[in-house]
Amino acid sequence: MTSNIVNLPTYGKAISLDDQGVYFTLSPSTAHPSTRSLHSIIQLVYDDEWYLFQLQKTGQTDEAGWIMMAEEMDGALVSIPTLAIQRCFSKPEYAEPRGAWQVIRNSKFGFGKFTPAEKTDSCYPALILFSGDEMHTPVRLHKADNETLRRADQVAEPTELV
């Protein structure tokens, strides 16, 4: 029996609505990972299109706000073709670990999701900076869980002296 169905290989888990949320990066350090400090807070949002925001201090004391990560008017992130992903990640420094990337980007910033070839490893997200068609080294993102967000909210609340 013949079949016209072709089984295409999976190119990694797609970026989905489950990936929305608040992420953070850790400061680069040669010290033990447990001693690294929070570096940036990023939010991935889907609102008819994908957007990246970064939490930045405002001009007001002890105040911060979400600033869209974009240049000029190209805020929405769009998928990049498989051939562009292959070109970006075909460099020797990305040979290990083996796996697949999915990437959405605007002209300067991108959000990537790496799916390891080993089924026992979990996917991880990354923030990617672009200069034209050239990609800089991805920075691993860590998703903030409810406990992390609760602690951050408590720190932001003013405390009263009794």
For β-strands 142-143 and 21-26, DSSP reports them as: antiparallel
The residue segments making up the domain with residue 60 are: 17-26+36-154
Q: Give the Cα separation of 98 and 118 in Å (integer).
A: 8
- Is residue 2 a part of any domain in this protein? no
List pLDDT tens digits, range 38-65: 778 999 999 999 999 998 888 777 788 8
Tokens of 141: 């993102």
Q: Count how many domains the chain has.
A: 1
**Residue type for 4, please?**
N
The tally of CA atoms less than 13 A away on the side-chain side of residue 39 is 13
Contact 15, 104 (CB under 8 A): yes
DSSP track, 103-155: EEE-SSEEEEEEEESSTTSPPEEEEEEEETTEEPPPEE-EE--HHHHHHHHHH
Q: Give the Cα separation of 114 and 104 in Å (integer).
A: 12
Contact 66, 40 (CB under 8 A): no
Q: Which residue has the tokens 């409810």?
A: 146
List pLDDT tens digits, range 90-135: 888 988 888 899 999 999 999 999 999 887 778 999 999 999 889 9
- Is residue 5 a part of any domain in this protein? no
- Is residue 54 a part of any domain in this protein? yes
- Is residue 91 a part of any domain in this protein? yes
Whether 155 shows a pLDDT value over 50: the answer reads no
- Is residue 162 a part of any domain in this protein? no
- Band (30; pLDDT cuts 50, 70, 90): low
- 29 versus 5: the higher-pLDDT residue is 29
- Is residue 4 a part of any domain in this protein? no
- Band (139; pLDDT cuts 50, 70, 90): very high
Tell if the pTM clears 0.85, that is, is over it: no
List pLDDT tens digits, range 74-87: 899 999 988 899 89
Q: Which residue has the tokens 């008819």?
A: 48
What percentage of residues in the chain have a pLDDT greater than 70? 78
- Is residue 160 a part of any domain in this protein? no
Q: Which residues contact 38 (CB under 8 A, 6 or more apart)?
A: 24, 25, 26, 27
End-to-end distance of the chain based on CA atoms, in angstroms? 82
Q: Give the Cα separation of 157 and 151 in Å (integer).
A: 10
